[in-house]
């Protein structure tokens, strides 16, 4: 490996920037970040993360609109709390972020925002009209949910809610307004939601092809699935509180005309005791049958599905109707495996370094 010889910090940044594809700045000052980005040639940079940025400073520093990082596709914003987390963001610093987003509006594909204060509400109008994916985590105010209606053309949306009880109902009303309006969403990822509060099957998600539910509360999925006629992938991890075997048993062929991939990653290991003491699982005093019952219902779902459904439990067992010998060349087997790995990483808080041995038991049903 060739060693880089530099004489200063700035020279090191300029040298590293030439080949860097992803960079994360842990710096409070946008002035330092902007200078580092402007003074070096970041020709290969695709992913930019701004962590701990101080958005409370009363300074405005605009990103030059004629200066474009040519390969930048993803911007992630994780602002710092500042001296007082309850203080509103500085309009000057917000305009700095808007100027960065606007300069790259022709090429940005994904924006990620993680903020406890209403940041999406301030940035929504600066998001590119052709933005493909928006991820919004840990939002705590309904105005951020309302800001979704000011976005345009989104194909993928991930929302992770951290609302207090008194604000939850208002946020759900805003989200339902967004989901009812006709849109182009193809993939929707919801984390920590009470689904009966948000009617996903209300009619505005006719284009939705993939639904991811992580740690969501629901009694039934029938109404949601019935209103999603193009849904072809359903991914569930950390389910609450109703036992999944009962949820899958009531799904009829009529409500899943296009479903081809189901991924289930349970958040609790079975107790394997007699009588069963698994939380939220009704065993009537018998031995633990949590996993066998779920496996049985997944097999039944595969058998009665109109499409060639593939179902995978964790990263352990996959069920399908074609011969096992066709597994290697089957695109749906590959897709189910990829989604199962992604669900596991989401369950473990994004720790993508977790190693899997690659062994999945394949079963023809």
Q: Kindly report the average pLDDT of the chain as a whole number.
A: 85
pTM over 0.75: yes
What is the total residue count of the chain? 365
Q: Which residues of 49-78 are buried (b: 16+ CB within 10 A; e: fewer)?
A: ebeebbbbbeeebebeeeeebeebbbbbbb
Residue ranges per domain, the chain? 18-107, 109-220, 232-365
Contact (Cβ atoms closer than 8 angstroms) between residue 162 and residue 130? no
Q: Which of 186, 222, 225, 183 is nearest to 204 (CA)?
A: 183
The span from the CA of 365 to the CA of 362, in Å, is: 10
The span from the CA of 69 to the CA of 108, in Å, is: 10
User: Which residues are registered as beta bridge partners of 114?
Assistant: 137
pLDDT in tens, 139-164: 667 888 889 999 989 999 999 877 66
Q: Tell me the mean pLDDT in the region 5-10.
A: 63
pLDDT in tens, 296-330: 999 999 999 998 999 999 888 999 999 999 999 99
Out of 149-153, 277-281, 354-358, give the one with best mean pLDDT.
149-153
Contact (Cβ atoms closer than 8 angstroms) between residue 57 and residue 82? no
User: Which residues are registered as beta bridge partners of 188?
Assistant: 157, 211
More confident residue, 57 or 125: 125
Q: Are strands 361-364 and 74-79 parallel, antiparallel or unpaired?
A: unpaired
User: To the nearest whole percent, how much of the chain has pLDDT over 70?
Assistant: 84
| Strand stretches in 39-106, DSSP E | 47-53, 74-79
**Residue 94's pLDDT band (cuts 50, 70, 90):** very high
pLDDT in tens, 217-253: 887 788 888 889 999 999 998 776 666 788 898 899 9
């Amino acid at each position: 490996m060739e060693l880089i010889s530099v004489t200063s910090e700035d020279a090191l940044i300029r040298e590293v920037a030439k080949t860097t594809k992803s960079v994360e700045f842990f710096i409070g000052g946008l002035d330092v970040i902007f200078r580092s980005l402007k003074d070096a040639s970041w020709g290969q940079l695709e992913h930019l993360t701004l962590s701990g940025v101080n958005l409370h400073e009363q300074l405005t520093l605009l990103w030059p609109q004629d200066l474009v990082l040519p390969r930048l596709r993803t911007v992630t914003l994780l602002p710092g709390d500042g001296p007082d987390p309850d203080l509103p963001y500085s309009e000057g610093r917000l305009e700095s972020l808007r100027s960065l987003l606007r300069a790259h509006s022709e090429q940005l594909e994904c924006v990620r925002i993680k903020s406890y204060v209403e940041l999406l509400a301030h940035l929504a109008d600066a998001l590119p009209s052709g933005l493909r994916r928006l991820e919004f985590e840990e939002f705590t105010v309904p105005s951020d949910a309302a800001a979704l209606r000011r976005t345009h053309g989104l194909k993928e949306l991930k929302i992770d809610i951290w609302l207090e009880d008194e604000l939850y109902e208002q946020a759900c009303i805003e989200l339902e307004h967004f989901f009812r309006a006709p849109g182009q969403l193809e993939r929707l990822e919801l984390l920590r939601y009470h689904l009966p509060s948000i009617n996903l099957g209300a009619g505005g998600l006719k284009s939705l092809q993939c639904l991811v539910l992580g740690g969501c509360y629901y009694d039934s999925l029938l109404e949601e699935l019935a209103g999603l006629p193009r849904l072809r992938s359903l991914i569930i991890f950390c389910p609450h509180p109703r036992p999944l075997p009962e949820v899958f048993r009531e799904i009829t062929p009529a409500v899943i005309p296009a479903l081809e991939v189901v991924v289930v990653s349970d958040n609790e290991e079975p107790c394997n005791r007699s009588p069963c003491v698994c939380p939220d699982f009704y065993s009537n005093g018998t031995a633990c049958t949590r996993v066998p019952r779920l496996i049985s219902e997944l097999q039944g779902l595969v058998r009665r599905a109109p499409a060639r459904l593939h179902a995978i439990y964790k990263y352990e067992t996959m069920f399908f109707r074609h011969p096992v010998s066709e597994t290697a060349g089957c695109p749906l087997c590959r897709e189910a495996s990829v989604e199962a790995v992604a669900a596991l990483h989401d369950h473990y808080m994004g720790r993508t370094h977790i190693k899997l041995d690659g062994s999945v038991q394949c079963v023809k049903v």
